[in-house]
Amino acid sequence: MLNDIEKVLMSEEEIREITKQLGKKITEDYKGKEVLLVSILKGAVVFMADIMREIDLKCTVDFMVVSSYGSGVKTSGNVKIIKDVDIPLSGKDVIIIEDILDSGLTLNYIINMLKERNPNSIEICTLLDKPSGRKAEVTAKYIGRTVPDAFVVGYGLDYDEKYRNLPFVGILKPEVYTK
């Protein structure tokens, strides 16, 4: 598996440090409030598990499953909700926990859908931001790290459902997905 990685982009230590800082910022910004953390499976599962423990607030957590990718490396923009949020959003301060914001098509679709349920607020916390890929106007309030235009895997992120279990984020060798 390691042979397929061109370069480590974020080490375990860097991820831990960034997650701590983001959790601290969210804790300060939402002081006295109760937040609902919504994570999008499967990619964000590792980040969610780590960041929720860095947020010192009363919070509830929920998960969504969506699909927009197939097995390629570019989003189709065709978002399908496979599992919706169970908790009612009305009046809630919602933070969407994402692994990576690329074209923004997935989050744009989800946010528009969730806004109709009248949450008090809705923000995005993403570990990685790839602004070069943006097609929809979506901005995350909390960003761990901006990444270059390359396909990354690990720490929850997959290529064709694999590499999610790598403890770091790395750039996948292009020959892995072009062959």
* Residues assigned a catalytic role: 102
Select from 2-10, 47-55, 88-96, 97-105 the region that touches ligand IMP (CB under 6 A).
97-105
What single-letter DSSP state applies at residue 173?
P
The answer to whether 105 contacts ligand IMP (rule: CB under 6 A) is: yes
- Nearest Cα neighbor of 153 from 73, 75, 98 is 73
Q: Per CB under 6 A, which of residues 123..152 are in contact with ligand IMP?
A: 151-152
* Least CB distance to ligand IMP at residue 109 (A): 8
* Least CB distance to Mg ion at residue 39 (A): 12
Rounded to whole angstroms, what are the CA distances from 41 to 15, 26, 105?
A: 19, 21, 16
Q: Which of 89, 97, 100, 176 binds ligand IMP (CB under 6 A)?
A: 100
Per-residue binder mask for Mg ion (CB under 5 A), 26-45, x = binder = -----------------x--
The nearer residue to Mg ion, 29 or 131, going by C-beta atoms, is: 131
The answer to whether 75 contacts ligand IMP (rule: CB under 6 A) is: yes
Query: What are the phi and psi torsion angles at 6 (to 5°)?
Result: -80, -40
The answer to whether 43 contacts ligand IMP (rule: CB under 6 A) is: yes
d(C-alpha 79, C-alpha 51), whole Å = 25
163 binds, among ligand IMP, Mg ion, none (CB under 5 to 8 A by kind): none
* Least CB distance to ligand IMP at residue 120 (A): 25
d(C-alpha 75, C-alpha 168), whole Å = 23
Helices (H), the chain: 12-29, 45-51, 105-115, 174-178
* Least CB distance to ligand IMP at residue 87 (A): 21
Region class of 104: left (phi > 0), else alpha (psi between -120 and 50), else beta: left
Hey, which residues does 126 pair with through a beta bridge?
A: 98, 143
The nearer residue to Mg ion, 55 or 157, going by C-beta atoms, is: 157
- Nearest Cα neighbor of 177 from 150, 137, 141 is 150
